[in-house]
Amino acid sequence: MSFKTNCLAAVAGLALLCGTAQAQTLRYANQGELKSLDPYTVNETTTHAHLGHPYEGLIRRGKNLEILPGLAESWTISDDGKTWRFALRKGVKFHGGEDFTADDVVFSADRARAPGSNVQTRVPTGTKVVKIDDHTVEFQLTSPNPILHYQWDTWYILSKTWAEKNNSTAPTPASATTPTFASLNANGTGAFKVESHQPGVKTVFKVNENWWNKSPEHNLKEIVFTPIASDATRVAALLSGEVDVIEPVPIQDIQRVNGTGTVQVLTGPELRTIFLGMDQVRDELVESSVKGKNPFKDIRVRKAFYQAIDIETIKTRVMRGLATPSPLMIAPELFPHTGFTRAKFDATEAKKLLTDAGYPDGFTVGMDCPNDRYVNDGQICQAVVGMLARIGVKVNLNAQPKGQYFAKVLKPGGYNTSFYLLGWTPGTSDSHNVLFDIMGCRDNPASSRGEANVAGYCNKKVDELTDKIIVEADKAKRDAMIKEAFQIAADDFGYIPLHQQALAWGVSKKVKLTQRADNAVHFQYAVKE
Amino acid sequence: MFAFILRRLFQSLIVMLSVALIAFAMFRFVGDPVNQIVSIDTPQAQVAEIRRSLGLDDPFLVQFARYIWNAARLEFGVSYQFRLPVISLLGERAPATLELALMSALFSLVVGIPMGVYTALKRESWLAKVFQAVSLIGISLPTFLIGILLIYLFSVTLGVLPSFGRGEVVRLGSWWTTGLLTVSGLKALVLPSITLGLFQMTLIMRLVRAEMLEVLRADYIKFARARGLKTRAVHFGHALKNTLVPVITIAGLQLGSIIAFAIITETVFQWPGMGQLFLRSVQNVDIPIMAAYLMLISFLFVTINLAVDLLYAAVDPRLRATVGAH
Amino acid sequence: MSTSSEAPSRWSRIRDSDILASFLKSKVTMVAAFVVLILFIGAAFSPWLAPTNPFDPATVFLADSMIPPAWQDGGEARFILGTDDQGRDLYSAILYGMRVSLIVGGLGVALAASIGITLGLLAGYLGGRVDAVIMRIADVQLTFPAILIALLIDGVVRGLFKSASREDTAIYVLVISIGLSFWVQYARTIRGSTLVERNKDYVMAARLVGLPAPLIMLRHVLPNVIGPVLVILTINLGLAVITEATLSFLGVGLPATQPSLGTLISIGNRYLFSGDWWIVAFPGITLAALVLAVNLLGDWLRDALNPRLR
The answer to whether the Cβ–Cβ distance between C63 and A317 falls below 8 Å is yes
**Using a CB cutoff of 8 Å and minimum separation of 24, what contacts does C211-219 make?**
C213/C125, C213/C126, C216/C125, C217/C121, C217/C122, C217/C125, C219/C6
What is the band of C274 on the pLDDT scale with cuts at 50, 70, 90?
confident
DSSP B51-95: HHHTTTTS-HHHHHHHHHHHHHTT---B-TTT-SBHHHHHHHHHH
Is C296 part of the contact surface with chain B (CB cutoff 8 Å)?
yes
Give chain B's mean pLDDT: 81
Distances from the Cα of A358 to the Cα of A300, A345, A385, C107, angstroms: 10, 21, 21, 42
DSSP A248-298: PPPGGGHHHHHTTSSEEEEEEEEEEEEEEEE--S-SS-SSBS--SS-GGGS
Which pTM does this prediction carry? 0.86
Angle, helix C166-197 to helix C128-143, in steps of 10 degrees: 140
DSSP A398-425: EEE-HHHHHHHHSGGGT---SEEEEEE-
Per-residue pLDDT for B221 more than 70?
A: yes
Structure confidence at residue A303 (pLDDT): 97
Chain C residues within 8 A of A387 when measuring between CB atoms: 62
Read off the pLDDT of each residue in A208-216 and give the average, rounded to a whole number: 92
Per-residue pLDDT for C30 more than 80?
A: yes
CA distance C218 to chain A (A): 44
Distance CA C280, CA C257 (A): 17
Tell me the domains of chain A and their CATH numbers.
25-227 (3.40.190.10), 269-502 (3.10.105.10)
C interface mutation test: which of A397, A404, A408 has the most C CBs within 10 A? A397
Nearest to A166 by CA among A180, A156, A176: A180
- Tell me which chain A residue has its CA closest to the CA of residue C276: A252
Instruction: Give the CA diameter of chain C.
Output: 76
Nearest to A435 by CA among A408, A404, A462: A462
B interface mutation test: which of C140, C306, C310 has the most B CBs within 10 A? C140
What's the pLDDT tens digit per position in C89-129?
999 999 999 999 999 999 999 999 999 999 999 998 888 88
Nearest to C109 by CA among C299, C306, C294, C302: C294
The answer to whether the Cβ–Cβ distance between B140 and C238 falls below 8 Å is yes
Chain B residues within 8 A of C28 when measuring between CB atoms: 129, 133
Q: Which residue has the higher pLDDT, C73 or A5?
A: C73
Per-residue pLDDT for B325 more than 70?
A: no
Give chain C's mean pLDDT: 83
Read off the pLDDT of each residue in B43-68 and give the average, rounded to a whole number: 79
Taking CB atoms and an 8 Å cut-off, how many pairs form between chains B and C? 118
Nearest to B29 among C159, C266, C291 (CB): C159
Distance CA C257, CA A466 (A): 40
Q: Name the residue type at position C267.
A: I
With a CB cutoff of 8 Å and minimum separation 6, the contacts of B281 are B79, B81, B287, B289, B290, B293
B interface mutation test: which of C25, C39, C143, C180 has the most B CBs within 10 A? C143
Residue B86 exposure: Cα atoms within 13 Å on the Cβ side: 27
Instruction: Specify which residues A367 forms β-bridges with.
Output: A397
Question: Is it true that the peptide bond before A325 is cis, omega within 30 degrees of 0?
Answer: no
Distance CA C145, CA B257 (A): 8
Instruction: Specify which residues A489 forms β-bridges with.
Output: none
What is the band of A480 on the pLDDT scale with cuts at 50, 70, 90?
very high
| Cβ-contact C218, C145 below 8 angstroms | no
Is B303 part of the contact surface with chain C (CB cutoff 8 Å)?
no
B window 66-95, beta carbon within 8 A of C: none
Chain A residues within 8 A of C251 when measuring between CB atoms: 371-372, 400-401
Per-residue pLDDT for A175 more than 70?
A: no
Phi-psi region at B142: left, alpha or beta (left = phi > 0; alpha = psi -120 to 50)? beta
H or E, element range at B265 = helix B240-268
Chain A residues within 8 A of C60 when measuring between CB atoms: 386
| Cβ-contact A278, A418 below 8 angstroms | yes
| Range picked from A443-457, B248-262, C9-23, C160-174 for highest mean pLDDT | A443-457
**Alpha carbon B236 to its chain's center:** 30
How is the beta sheet containing A72-77 ordered, strand by strand?
A: A72-77, A83-88, A136-140, A128-133
- Tell me which chain B residue has its CA closest to the CA of residue A225: B165
Nearest to A170 by CA among A131, A113, A119, A120: A113
Angle at A487 between CA A486 and CA A492, to 5 degrees: 100
A window 136-195, beta carbon within 8 A of B: 172-179, 183-184
Q: Which residue has the higher pLDDT, A105 or C16?
A: A105
Distance CA A160, CA A162 (A): 5
CA distance A172 to chain B (A): 7
| Cβ-contact C240, C104 below 8 angstroms | yes
What's the pLDDT tens digit per position in A235-285?
999 999 999 999 999 999 999 899 988 999 999 989 999 999 999 999 999
Structure confidence at residue B320 (pLDDT): 46
What is the band of C14 on the pLDDT scale with cuts at 50, 70, 90?
low
Structure confidence at residue B255 (pLDDT): 75
Chain B residues within 8 A of A234 when measuring between CB atoms: 164
The answer to whether the Cβ–Cβ distance between B35 and A175 falls below 8 Å is no
The answer to whether the Cβ–Cβ distance between B22 and C238 falls below 8 Å is no
Complex ipTM value: 0.82
Distance CA A508, CA A506 (A): 7
Four-point Cα dihedral B88, B92, B98, B101, nearest 10: -110
Chain B residues within 8 A of A120 when measuring between CB atoms: 42-43, 46
Taking any CB pair shorter than 8 Å as contact, residues of chain C touching chain A are 56-58, 60-63, 65-66, 85-87, 162-163, 165-168, 251, 255-257, 269-276
The answer to whether the Cβ–Cβ distance between C166 and A397 falls below 8 Å is yes
A interface mutation test: which of C84, C274, C276, C279 has the most A CBs within 10 A? C274
